[in-house]
Amino acid sequence: MPESAMFLTGEHQMPFAMFIRLLAVLAMLAFALPAARAAENEIIRIGDTLSLILPGEDSLTGDFPVDRKGAIALPEIGPVRIAGMPLEEAAEMVRHRLSVAFRDVARLTMRLKERKLFVAVAGQVRKPGTLELPGDATVEVAIAEAGGINAGAQLDRLKLIRGDREIGFNYKQYLDTGDLSVLPKLQPLDIIFVPISPLTGNVHIDFDAETLSRAGDGADAGGSVRIFGEVQKPAQFAFKENMSIVDLIMRAGGVTRFAAVEQIRVITDKGPVLFNLQAYLDSGDPALMPPLEKGATIFVPILADQIKRGKHTVYIMGEVAKPGAFEAQKGTTFIDILANSGGPTRFAETRQIRIIRATGIVEMFDLVAFTEGKITDIPLVQPGDAILVPEKTETQEPSWTRLPPTRTVQVMGAVTKPGRYEWIDEMSLFDLIGHAGGPTAKGDLAAIQIVKRADGKAETVTFDMKAYLDNGGSEAAVPVIRAGYVIVVPELPVDPNDNKSLWVRQDADRSIYVMGAVGSPGRYAFDRSLGFLDILSAADGPTESADLRRIRVSLRGQTNAEPILVDLLRYMETGDERVLPRLEPGDMIYVPGHDRTWTEIATGDTVRVLGAVGKPGRYSFTTRMNILDLLAQAGGPTDAALQDRIVVVNMGKENKAFHFDLEAFTRTGDPSRLPVVRPGDTVYVPDKTQSHWARVMETVKDAAQIVALFAAVAAL
Amino acid sequence: MMTKRSLAGTLVAVLLPALTACVHPWPPAARGGIAGQPAPTPEMAGVHAAVKNASAAGSLSPAEALAARERLDLAAREYRAGLAADADAGLLDVSLRLGGGDIATRTGRSTCLKAPCS
């Protein structure tokens, strides 16, 4: 007998009110104490996250998840299995295990931080697989996380697999009642299995109402009608009284846009009957609609399947929206048939439409010219005629063999799309170059070659399209292109290296020569649109040693023409384009260097420096320079130089000499004391032996020697 | 007496060559000045103005105008250096560049374009 019951017998002498109070206190203790200790004695599960804190030890302070094997991974110790243990007991075990590697582990605290539920959902759900759910998740939550139940699931026989056990439950009952007690409570590593209904058979199909409806409801072939062909949803439907063919077509989703609604066939035991739905819809006459019988089959044919053949039929083929056969009444034109066929597609070659007469004669029709008003006569079509709208040439692969040479021109060389192009004579050279994608970056439009081929002969003409584009001109100047011609756009080298490699292919009459002190001397392609600086730049420009004041241009095309002297520095000073010569193909540019040998330098460009200087010689000189520049260039006066008697000999209209006192100039800085020195003059720096005093002393010495000689002779 | 005469002869023989050396002829001192610091003479002022006008009118290109100014600069220096003939030739050269206008020069030269040279 329970103790509480014994209390109720009243064997002890105790007032009833006191008994009731005591009972209430005991009841409160019975409920409150376990609740207070519940958190401490929580059973650890797989999926839990424990929070460990050991002050002063970072590696043991943090979150430690309980893995699928029920263990937590402790530093220095490794995995410790604690799933299934009360929290406090687990904490004690962890302290014990850690004590072999850590000190002061008694201060380690452990608490349950988070609870998760690892379950799996399999079977007839949209996303079968393992799930990580909140700790209090239910079966319904798990199924929802798995994407929900698929059509065809057996809802009343779901299973929960827990280890070796299988727990069946009726999910349908839960869905009907909302009673959660029907559902088993989930535990970690549970597997929820959703079976499929045996009604679905062994073949996987979509088992939803939409699919079932699409498949029709006529499972019983004997009592059904079938409809197929050009309807939206071909199916087998249960036959119902008073059902018409139109009803059946509507149940099948209606006809497609390809349906031949005038040719619907109704097949019954009595044989096929033709049903013209178009006529019925136009008239509403029920007599046009054959009755629908049980077991009937309706076939809606495709429109293209119709082969019209009759005495009024005209055919249209090729690149039109709806190729086929059309009725041509008297007076029907080509345009009528083309419009009925939906018109040409974007791939159609509308300039080359062919009308193949019933007699075998082929006529060409240019629809573009007609739309532009250039043609006003529209050909009539007769029954039996055929119209061919060909595909554009450039969309065909490979198509060049389909075009005869009498209808093509060839474009070669530096265009984006070299090739063979269909040609009509009303097009121009510009149309052709444009159609070939235009010239490439290296294309030389200034020397387009046109090879005119006719009667077994070829004649080449050159056209400067660049000049025409730049300056305009008469249209008559543009060569007329005919079918069979060959057009060549030559290349204009951009890179000097290209130029070197292609020099054999490069016509000498279209070249210019750059020599001397430039980065890349050589022969360069040239046309009249290029200038002096273009060519100099193409040759990588003058080198550091180039003498820019004395660039020479030889005019090869002109007999007895003297070279032009170009002062490029003057151009740089003034920007005066007239300083630069206008070049012609064949000309030669020579850029001399400062390091030329003295024999290469013209006398009129130099000043001679003689005497007591570091480097006597001839030096290039301009009127902008002065004697100080010259002396500096010549290495300066030597120690023996007589610096106050530097002699300048001016060679001009009248030859004169002056002396320059360098010492005085250095003392005063008076520029007026500087002599005029011009190219062609001579500067002489005497040495000290030519000073007045040296000369006097030398003369006295000589005289003394003579006197002594005379004295000696007299003494004898 | 003989000794005095011999001594005098000896002094003459020594000093005469020395005096000869003292008069060794060096050319006169140079004048002219530095390029780029024009100091036009009065007769060149008109030519400078003509160059300026021609350059402004476009009949003389910038490069030609620069060359003309440089030539006039040199002519001025040549005048100062005593090279009048060369300076006159320079002025005439500039005159030709300007189209042949008559220019009065120190040597009386003038262009031969407008009037026949005498």
pLDDT band at A1 (very low <50, low <70, confident <90, very high): very low
d(CA A178, CA A168): 17
Instruction: Give the pLDDT mean for A242-271.
Output: 87
pLDDT over 80 at A242, yes or no: yes
Question: In percent, how much of chain A has pLDDT > 70?
Answer: 86
pLDDT at A599: 66
Identity of the residue in B27, B35, B36 whose CB atom sits nearest the CB atom of A658? B27
Task: Tell me how close the Cα of B42 comes to any Cα of chain A, in angstroms.
Answer: 18
d(CA A454, CA A457): 5
Closest CA to A651 of A694, A603, A686: A603
Q: Are strands A271-275 and A264-268 parallel, antiparallel or unpaired?
A: antiparallel
- Residue A670 sits at the chain B interface (C-beta within 8 Å): no
Instruction: Give the pLDDT mean for A59-67.
Output: 90
Average pLDDT, rounded, for chain B: 74
pLDDT over 90 at A498, yes or no: no
Identity of the residue in A575, A678, A692 whose CB atom sits nearest the CB atom of B22? A692
**Cβ(A459)–Cβ(A452) below 8 Å:** yes
C-alpha B72, offset from chain centre: 11
**Cβ(A636)–Cβ(A620) below 8 Å:** no
Backbone dihedral region of A484: left (phi > 0), alpha (psi from -120 to 50 degrees) or beta? left
HSE, side-chain direction, 13 A CA sphere, residue A538:
26
| Torsion sign across C-alpha atoms A508, A509, A515, A519 | negative
Identity of the residue in A570, A700, A707 whose CB atom sits nearest the CB atom of B18? A700
Give chain A positions within 8 Å (CB) of B81.
650, 658, 675-676
Helix, strand, or coil (residue A636):
coil
Give chain B positions within 8 Å (CB) of A676.
30, 32-33, 74, 77-78, 80-81, 83
**Cβ(A150)–Cβ(A126) below 8 Å:** yes
Q: Which residue has the higher pLDDT, A699 or A188?
A: A188
pLDDT over 60 at A155, yes or no: yes
Q: pTM of the prediction?
A: 0.42
d(CA A632, CA A675): 15
Q: Which residue has the higher pLDDT, A305 or A233?
A: A233
- Residue A701 sits at the chain B interface (C-beta within 8 Å): no
Residue to substitute from B15, B71, B83, interface A, most A β-carbons within 10 A: B83
pLDDT over 90 at A169, yes or no: yes
Task: Tell me how close the Cα of B79 comes to any Cα of chain A, in angstroms.
Answer: 10
d(CA A255, CA B40): 106
First CA to last CA across chain B, in angstroms?
72
Instruction: Give the pLDDT mean for A351-368.
Output: 86
pLDDT band at B114 (very low <50, low <70, confident <90, very high): very low
pLDDT at A635: 93
**Cβ(A225)–Cβ(A236) below 8 Å:** yes
Q: Which of A9-13, B55-59, B86-90 has the lowest average pLDDT?
A: A9-13
**Cβ(A403)–Cβ(A393) below 8 Å:** yes
pLDDT over 80 at B22, yes or no: no
Instruction: Give the pLDDT mean for B77-89.
Output: 87
Identity of the residue in A578, A623, A658 whose CB atom sits nearest the CB atom of B30? A658
Instruction: Give the pLDDT mean for A140-155.
Output: 91
Which residue stretches of A532-624 are H helix? 532-538, 568-574
d(CA A180, CA A185): 9
Task: Tell me how close the Cα of A606 comes to any Cα of chain B, in angstroms.
Answer: 17
Identity of the residue in A656, A692, A695 whose CB atom sits nearest the CB atom of B83? A656
Query: Is B13 in Cβ contact with A652 (below 8 Å)?
Result: no
Question: In percent, how much of chain A has pLDDT > 90?
Answer: 22
Instruction: Give the pLDDT mean for B85-96.
Output: 83
Q: Which of A2-16, A81-95, A329-343, A586-600 has the lowest average pLDDT?
A: A2-16
Tokens of A430: 């510009």
pLDDT over 50 at A35, yes or no: no
Query: Is B20 in Cβ contact with A678 (below 8 Å)?
Result: no
B13 to chain A: closest CA residue: A703
pLDDT over 90 at A273, yes or no: no
Instruction: Give the pLDDT mean for A299-303.
Output: 86
A656 to chain B: closest CA residue: B83
Q: Which residue has the higher pLDDT, A73 or B98?
A: A73
Query: Is A703 in Cβ contact with B17 (below 8 Å)?
Result: yes
pLDDT at A143: 94
Q: Which of A311-325, A656-670, B62-76 has the lowest average pLDDT?
A: A311-325
What are B49-78's pLDDT values in tens digits?
888 888 888 888 888 888 888 888 888 888
Alpha-carbon Rg of chain A, whole angstroms?
A: 56
C-alpha A383, offset from chain centre: 53
pLDDT at A503: 56
pLDDT band at A549 (very low <50, low <70, confident <90, very high): confident
pLDDT band at A7 (very low <50, low <70, confident <90, very high): very low
Q: Which of A65-69, A357-361, A589-593 has the lowest average pLDDT?
A: A357-361
CB atoms within 10 A of CB B20: 13
Question: In percent, how much of chain B has pLDDT > 90?
Answer: 0
Query: Is A570 in Cβ contact with B34 (below 8 Å)?
Result: no
Query: Is B30 in Cβ contact with A674 (below 8 Å)?
Result: yes
What are A172-208's pLDDT values in tens digits?
999 999 888 989 999 999 999 999 888 777 766 666 6
pLDDT over 80 at A2, yes or no: no
Q: Are strands A158-162 and A165-169 parallel, antiparallel or unpaired?
A: antiparallel
A690 to chain B: closest CA residue: B24
d(CA A549, CA A571): 10
What are A438-447's pLDDT values in tens digits?
998 878 888 8
pLDDT at A369: 85
